[in-house]
Each structure stands twice: as C-alpha cells, then as structure tokens.
Amino acid sequence: MSNSYFWRLYTGAKIDYVEENQGVLFGYEIKWGKGRIRAPKSWSETYKADVQLLNSENYLDFIK
C-alpha cells in the first residue's frame, strides 16, 4: 500500500503528486500536453528521487 502526498515549498517549488511505497518516494508532475519537466533542485537534493511526467498520453498506464 502506498501513501500519497503533495509537496510544495514556500518558494513555490512543487511536485504535483508524490507516492511513498516502502520508504521510497516517487514524484509525478501532471500536465495535459507534452512537455519537459525538471525536478526542483531542493526535491532532488533532499529526497534523491526522480520526477516523472504524467500526461494525456500515459495516464492510463499509471492508473492501471
């Protein structure tokens, strides 16, 4: 079972959706279209976790 979170700093840096599964964090940015994303530096440095893009082309794979 996973825990779900939203991550945001006062500076405005954010991750739209975060899942924690057995102590490992997975970050997701949610956009409708194609786009490039980059994990906020503070996220990468603190949690050593990647961020993936969820969009209109791959969300069905994510929810299965």
Number of domains in the chain: 1
- Distance CA(34)–CA(42), nearest Å, equals 24
pLDDT in tens, 40-49: 999 999 999 9
Range of the domain at 50: 3-63
**Residues 32 and 53: beta-carbon distance below 8 Å:** no
pTM of the predicted model as reported, rounded to 2 decimal places: 0.86
- Residue 64's pLDDT band, with cuts at 50, 70 and 90, is confident
